[in-house]
């Protein structure tokens, strides 16, 4: 087994940076390791119009540590009132790289999302014409559908009919959590890809309830049973170009998670690369870490891979990550993979 691994610098194809003090506190953890990230637009209010994305991008750039070359790749939040012309102009100018579909009510700050996908057909058709990817939170919101089945039902009842109607639409199924999602992406051709999160590779639903309820493992889509976790690990480590890293690092204040009605989201930006090296080594596929973290994502988005490299070094002493980051409003707990991490990043 190698003890050092040098790969092209990774990108994060699904990231929540928030705004204000939280943005300032969490951005350095991503900018330290990643060259670029697709920035989720689910602020309050959401990033809907091109002008919102311009302003948000400026706030991100202002919050970057001095000397950082990190590049935020902006997205717009799709609503039933979104304008195809506004979106096309934002894509044409290079301001945005994707549009995000949140089914209304599916997750954190998704109230302005889409209730009826057929009402955004004109926007989606224009996106297909110009090759602008749609990033999809793939869960149905019907409360009668069991929370563990919402991804599989979404594929069958929303995504497959949509892709049949608009086959030219480029789609990223975000944070796939099931073998159903993996199988669908594998059979989906060149216009379909998926991101996988760090935490869904390391935990399954048992972790959420181990010895009590563990709010810091609660995210959406919720972690599924172990057989699904194993399917995700196989997809991530296989080298298949349809799968790439989207951490879904989603910071919430501890008080908002450790609550009678806790928020969904796992904050994994600080230790993601050490976690991934750990997973890929366990699977005997360290040779495919670069494809997953650094090559497959840019290829799908039509961008060149990064020129810089990062080196991961396996040391006998575990690498220590702070258990939480401090923000002006309180701590945010960092993802705990519940195992010693030996891969240091430099
Ligand atoms: O767990 C999640 N947290 N899933 C999402 O889809 C949104 C995210 C957030 O914004 O906190
Ligand atoms: Zn997310």
Q: What is the pLDDT of residues 266-277, one digit of tens each?
A: 999 999 999 999
C-alpha 208 to ligand 2 mean position (Å): 18
Omega prior to 45 cis, within 30 of 0: yes
Kindly report the protein residue whose alpha carbon is nearest to atom 4 of ligand 1.
220
Kindly report the protein residue whose alpha carbon is nearest to atom 3 of ligand 1.
265
Pocket of ligand 1 (CB under 6 A): 16, 42, 107-108, 137, 219-220, 250, 264-265
Annotation marks residue 248 as catalytic: yes
For 146-204, give the DSSP string: -GGGHHHHHIIIIIHHHHHH-TT--EEE-S--SHHHHHHHHTS-TTEEEEE-HHHHH--
DSSP symbol at 307: S
Kindly report the protein residue whose alpha carbon is nearest to atom 10 of ligand 1.
108
- Nearest listed ligand to the Cα of residue 40: 2
> Which of 72, 201, 184, 202 is CA-nearest to residue 138?
184
What is the atom index within ligand 1 of the atom nearest the CA of 42? 10
Q: What is the pLDDT of residues 129-153, one digit of tens each?
A: 999 999 999 999 999 999 999 999 9
DSSP symbol at 14: E
User: Tokens 């879904």, residue?
Assistant: 248
Q: Which of 240, 248, 254, 336 is catalytic?
A: 248
d(Cα 254, Cα 42) in Å, to the nearest integer?
19
CB–CB of 223/204 below 8 Å?
Answer: yes
C-alpha 287 to ligand 2 mean position (Å): 27
- Among positive and negative, which fits the CA dihedral 41, 135, 278, 149? positive
Burial (Cβ within 10 Å: 0-12, 13-18, ≥19) of residue 290: buried
**Residue 236: partners with Cβ closer than 8 Å, 6 or more residues away:** 196, 201, 243, 245, 279, 280, 292
What is the atom index within ligand 1 of the atom nearest the CA of 109? 10
pLDDT for position 134: 98
Describe the crossing of helices 50-63 and 84-92 by its angle, rounded to 10 degrees. Answer: 40
Q: What is the pLDDT of residues 86-135, one digit of tens each?
A: 999 999 999 999 999 999 988 888 888 999 999 999 999 999 999 999 99
Domains of the chain from N-terminus onward: 14-267 (3.20.20.140)
């Amino acid at each position: 087994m190698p003890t050092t691994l040098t790969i092209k610098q990774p990108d994060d194809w699904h990231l929540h940076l928030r705004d204000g003090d939280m943005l300032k506190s969490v951005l350095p953890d991503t900018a330290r390791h990643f060259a670029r990230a697709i920035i989720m637009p689910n602020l309050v209010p959401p990033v809907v119009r091109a002008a919102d994305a311009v302003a948000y991008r400026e706030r991100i750039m202002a919050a970057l540590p001095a000397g950082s070359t990190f590049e935020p790749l902006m997205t717009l939040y799709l609503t039933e009132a979104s304008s195809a012309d506004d979106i096309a102009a934002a894509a044409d100018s290079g301001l945005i790289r994707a549009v995000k579909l949140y089914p209304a009510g599916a997750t954190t700050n998704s109230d302005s999302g889409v209730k009826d996908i057929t009402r955004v057909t004109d926007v989606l058709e224009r996106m297909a014409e110009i090759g602008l990817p749609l990033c999809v939170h793939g869960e149905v919101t019907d409360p009668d559908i069991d929370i563990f089945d919402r991804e599989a039902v979404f594929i069958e009842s929303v995504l497959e009919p949509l892709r049949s109607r608009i086959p030219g639409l480029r789609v990223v199924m975000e944070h796939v959590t099931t073998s159903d999602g993996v199988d669908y992406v594998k059979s989906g051709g060149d216009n379909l890809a998926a991101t996988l999160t760090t935490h869904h590779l390391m935990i399954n639903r048992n972790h959420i309830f181990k010895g009590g309820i563990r709010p810091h493992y609660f995210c959406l889509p919720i972690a599924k049973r172990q057989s699904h976790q194993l399917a995700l690990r196989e997809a991530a480590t296989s080298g298949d170009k349809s799968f790439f890293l989207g951490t879904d690092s989603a910071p919430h204040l501890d008080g908002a998670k450790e609550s009678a009605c806790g928020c969904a989201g796992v904050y994994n930006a600080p230790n993601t690369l050490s976690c991934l090296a750990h997973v890929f080594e366990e699977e005997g596929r360290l040779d495919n870490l670069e494809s997953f973290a650094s090559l497959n994502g840019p290829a799908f988005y039509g961008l060149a891979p990064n020129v810089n490299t990062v080196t991961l070094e396996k040391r006998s002493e575990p690498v220590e990550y702070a258990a939480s980051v401090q923000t002006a409003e309180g701590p945010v707990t960092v993802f705990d993979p519940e195992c010693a991490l030996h891969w240091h990043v430099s």
